[in-house]
Structure 1
Amino acid sequence: MNAPRLIASGFAAGLAPRAPGTAGSLVGLLLGVWALHAAGPVGLIGAIILASIAGLWAIPRAADEQADPGWVVIDEIAGQMIALLAVPHPGLWQILLAFALFRLFDITKWGPIGWADRRHDALGIMADDWIAGLFAALALTLIVSITTYV
């Protein structure tokens, strides 16, 4: 496997026989939690930027003719880490909720997520997951705020 395919597949997470997007999201969750614990929010932002740049470089070199092949999951990795921005010191329930909310928004392609998904280029492949991650982070912020003050 060449470097672009290795990166685009999330170091082979996207080759999972079932639910490759979920497998990629799990990789993003683990990397994001590790980055938060190792270097705080700045480390997480750095990891998001690194995954995003790597994805924008790798996808056009690896994805051949398909608009958004299922095995390309570097976008899920970046998007899942964006969802974690809402909780700089997450507990287990917040980590699991960040995962569930990101998957919900990524799968349903609601609103601008669907618009970005209809772009058939590397930017569109990455952007739908960036937006899903942002929506998940906003929803998670709201839920954490409500549960903290109620």
Structure 2
Amino acid sequence: MDINTLHKPPIIFKNMTWFERCIVFCGVGFGSGLAPKAPGTFGSAFALLFIPIWLAIGFSSSILAILVMSLIGIYICGQTAKIIHVHDDGRIVWDEFAGQSITFLPLIYFGQMNWIWVLVGFGLFRLFDIWKPWPIRVIDQKVDGGFGIMFDDIIAGLWAALCILIYLYFPMA
């Protein structure tokens, strides 16, 4: 999360075209990224609403849907940043949607989805997204545009998924 989120200018929707409004509305996570504090956390929490969809369509289809979400997100995040004139604004949370969704792939695969694992996955994703261990920090600092906005959260989601996968595949007796 960008520490200056609270000091950013408001997003003025009335000055945008209809198409720009749709893009920005998606970019700010259908409004979840407009929370006055911790917009990334609110965006990640909103992404939990996708879990029933991932469960309904299954593991393989979820991978495909998350891949499409991520590719579309490159455009949405990049355009939102251009329209509101702030690169990787904390209010842009479409990237959290994709990263948080990636976190749950091992749970879908192993059929382990329950509220405890949802909380663990949520916590792990937020930890990696905020802490930004290697290579997330490097990507966040060096890669610009929509790809940069999306890619660091995708890696955070992969790190969180890897932690879950290791635990599920190599359970501690």
Structure-2-length-normalised TM-score? 0.79
TM-aligned CA deviation for residue 50 of structure 1:
3.1
The yes-or-no answer on 1:85 pairing with 2:109 is no
Indicate the residue corresponding to 1:63 in structure 2. 81
Compare CA radii of gyration and give the structure with the larger one.
2
Q: Distance in 1 between matches of 2:54 and 2:152?
A: 23
Deviations 1:78-103 (A, max 9, x none): 00000001111212211111110000
Q: Distance in 2 between matches of 1:126 and 1:97?
A: 22
Do 1:7 and 1:54's aligned partners in 2 also have CA atoms closer than 8 Å? no
Match of 1:50 among 49, 68, 74: 68
Deviation >6 Å, runs of 4+: none
TM-aligned CA deviation for residue 53 of structure 1:
2.4
Runs of 5+ unmatched residues, structure 1? none
Identity %: 39
Q: Distance in 2 between matches of 1:40 and 1:128?
A: 25
Deviations 1:112-147 (A, max 9, x none): 111111122111110000000000000011223344
Q: Distance in 1 between matches of 2:159 and 2:58?
A: 21
Look up the SS of the partner of 1:22 in the other structure: helix
Look up the SS of the partner of 2:54 in the other structure: helix
Indicate the residue corresponding to 1:103 in structure 2. 126
Runs of 5+ unmatched residues, structure 2? 1-12, 14-20
- Identify the range of structure 1 (100-109 vs 117-126) with the bigger mean alpha-carbon deviation: 117-126
Structure-1-length-normalised TM-score? 0.91
Q: Distance in 2 between matches of 1:37 and 1:61?
A: 30
Do 2:77 and 2:95's aligned partners in 1 also have CA atoms closer than 8 Å? no
What root-mean-square deviation, in Å, do the aligned CA atoms of Structure 1 and Structure 2 show?
Answer: 1.5
Q: Where do residues 1-150 of structure 1 align in structure 2 (5 Å cutoff)?
A: 1=13, 2-31=21-50, 33-64=51-82, 65-88=85-108, 89=111, 90-118=113-141, 119-147=143-171, 150=173
